[in-house]
Amino acid sequence: DIVMTQSPVSLPVTPGEAASISCRSSQGLLNSNGYTYLDWYLQRPGQSPQLLIYLGSNRASGVPDRFSGSGSGTDFTLQISRVEAEDVGVYFCMQALQTPFTFGPGTRVEIK
């Protein structure tokens, strides 16, 4: 199985400031079709997860442009340019290159 790790575990942020979350995979997520199978999800308190970023860097429908995904190979980053109160929750990365799909352990973003 591909093992996913994330850092930091917890991230206190001030509204309006930028935030960055790192995700690493135990093997590269680039497929022979040229796509990188790495997604980002946000789970707000008491809610189901929602898709933020798919295939490494593509924002899902309705996701504000303050969210961006980057990276390649085994190292990926989710950036929030200006954190808002509604961004509080746990962020998970997930690899969809091969089954079993695997999630990172999550990064909890909280407002200072």
Contact positions vs another protein (CB under 8 A):
1, 31, 33, 35, 37, 39, 41, 43, 48-51, 54-55, 58, 60, 92, 94, 96, 99-106
Cβ 81 to another protein shortest distance, Å? 22
Residue 28 or 35: the one with the smaller Cβ distance to another protein is 35
CB atoms within 10 A of CB 71: 19
DSSP secondary structure string, 43-105?
A: E-TTS--EEEEETTTEEPTT--TTEEEEEETTEEEEEESS--GGG-EEEEEEE-SSSSPEE--
CA distance 61 to 101: 22
CB of 16 to another protein, least distance (A): 29
Taking the complex as a whole, the smallest distance from the CB of residue 109 to another protein amounts, in Å, to 15
Minimum CB distance to another protein smaller for 55 or for 88: 55
Closer residue to another protein in complex, CB, 75/96: 96
